[in-house]
């Protein structure tokens, strides 16, 4: 085995499609070593962090974690100083993602993967691997890709903004004014609603909740956190260089994902 050969990881939940992609890569890029093929997003994150391949083929829709969620986790946990993999997203039908990828100059291939389309992707990957500066930009590129497919702010005239949240506490229903909320945090199947003096769980996804909030007031700062920006007192870099938010009315700090760190460049 050639230790200097480029290395790739394939994350695809359909074994037949994963094998077809590996075989196509063997034809079009014989020097490429496929070091692992996994079937879900959780395994994709674990194996990519362990193996640190040069190229990562991520199916957008996988069980456990989607390809987009896996890419965000990798961007967040990737060790400083190590070149981030060149990421190619693989998709069957996600038109919204394709439009966003086009706008961010991301690379993607459609399933079933054709040799003609994959050959163009291979040529781009080979060119980037040959340029150290391009490898250095790989992390920023995947962050731009993730920002491009982040949920858009609701259009004007869409559903009314949420003003009161109903949370079950024992045999009571607590009414929480949205203006009193400091942040929302996803916890498994629930969202924790955090105000200055209380926390309450509601059974709703963070994305569904975020769509009902005023985007000028509530910012997503992490895959599992939406914060009321008026309650943020400062964005501070910790010893590792990552941003954390200090809050008015709460003692804890909130981590800011690399995906959303650009929101605080002027603060």
Query: Tell me, what DSSP letter sits at residue 79?
Result: P
pLDDT > 80? residue 109: yes
**Angle, vertex CA 10, rays to CA 9 and CA 11, nearest 5:** 120
| The two three-digit tokens of residue 65, written as one number | 């974690």
Percentage of residues of the chain with pLDDT beyond 90: 52
Q: Which residues of 11-26 are buried (b: 16+ CB within 10 A; e: fewer)?
A: bbbeeebbeebbebbe
pLDDT over 70 (residue 105): no
Q: Order the strands of the 232-237 sheet from edge to edge.
A: 232-237, 243-247, 253-255
User: pLDDT band for position 152 (50/70/90)?
Assistant: low
Predicted pLDDT of residue 27: 96
For the ranges 86-100, 110-124, 205-219, the lowest mean pLDDT is seen at 86-100
75-94: average pLDDT: 86
The second-level CATH assignment, the architecture, of 7-148 is 3-Layer(aba) Sandwich (3.40)
29 CB neighbour count, 10 Å cutoff: 21
What pLDDT does 136 receive?
72
pLDDT by residue (tens digit) across 162-217?
899 999 877 888 899 999 999 999 987 899 999 998 899 999 888 889 889 999 99
Residue 1 pLDDT > 50: no
3-state secondary structure 205-222: CHHHHHCCCCCCCEEEEE
The residues spanned by each domain of the chain are 7-148, 164-264
Superfamily of domain 164-264, CATH level 4: LytTr DNA-binding domain (2.40.50.1020)
| 158 against 211, higher pLDDT | 211
Q: Any idea which of 55-64, 102-111, 172-181, 226-235 has the lowest mean pLDDT?
A: 102-111
pLDDT at 19: 95
Asked whether 227 and 183 are in contact (CB, 8 A), the reply is yes
Q: Which of 172, 238, 169, 232 is nearest to 202 (CA)?
A: 169
154 has pLDDT over 70: no
**pTM (whole model) above 0.75:** no
Q: pLDDT higher for 4 or 26?
A: 26
Query: What's the whole-number mean pLDDT along residues 209-230?
Result: 92
Please give the Cα distance from 51 to 120 (Å, whole number): 25
Nearest to 177 by CA among 196, 190, 191: 196
Confidence (pLDDT) at 111: 86
Same CATH topology for 7-148 and 164-264? no
List, for residues 45-82, the tens digit of each pLDDT value.
999 999 999 999 999 888 888 888 899 889 888 988 88
Residue ranges with strand state E in the chain:
7-11, 33-38, 55-59, 86-91, 108-110, 164-169, 172-177, 181-187, 190-195, 199-202, 218-222, 225-228, 232-237, 243-247, 253-255
Residue 116 burial (CB < 10 Å; 0-12/13-18/19+)? exposed
CA 82, 21, 34: angle at the middle one, nearest 5?
40
């Amino acid at each position: 085995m050639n230790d200097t050969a480029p290395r790739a990881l394939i994350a695809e939940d359909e074994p037949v499609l994963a094998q077809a992609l590996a075989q196509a890569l063997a034809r079009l890029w014989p020097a490429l070593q496929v070091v692992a093929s996994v079937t879900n997003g959780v395994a994709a994150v674990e194996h990519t962090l362990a193996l640190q391949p040069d190229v990562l083929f991520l199916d957008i829709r996988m069980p456990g974690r989607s390809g987009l969620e896996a890419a965000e986790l990798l961007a967040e946990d990737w060790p400083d100083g190590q070149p981030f993999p060149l990421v190619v997203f693989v998709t069957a039908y996600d038109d919204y993602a394709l439009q966003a990828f086009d706008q961010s100059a991301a690379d993607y291939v459609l399933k079933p993967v054709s040799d003609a389309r994959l050959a163009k992707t291979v040529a781009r990957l080979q060119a980037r691997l040959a340029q150290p500066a391009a490898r250095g930009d790989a992390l920023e590129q995947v962050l731009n890709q993730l920002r491009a497919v982040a949920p858009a702010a609701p259009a004007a005239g869409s559903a009314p903004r949420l003003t009161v949240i109903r949370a079950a506490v024992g045999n009571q229903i607590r009414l929480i004014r949205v203006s009193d909320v400091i942040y929302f945090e996803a916890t498994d199947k629930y969202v924790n609603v955090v105000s200055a003096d209380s926390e309450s769980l509601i059974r709703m996804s963070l994305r569904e909740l975020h769509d009902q909030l005023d985007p000028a007031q509530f910012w997503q700062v992490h895959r599992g956190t939406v914060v009321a920006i008026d309650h943020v007192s400062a964005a501070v870099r910790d010893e590792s260089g990552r941003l954390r938010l200090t809050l008015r009315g709460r003692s804890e700090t909130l981590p800011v994902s690399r995906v959303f760190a650009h929101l605080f460049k002027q603060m």
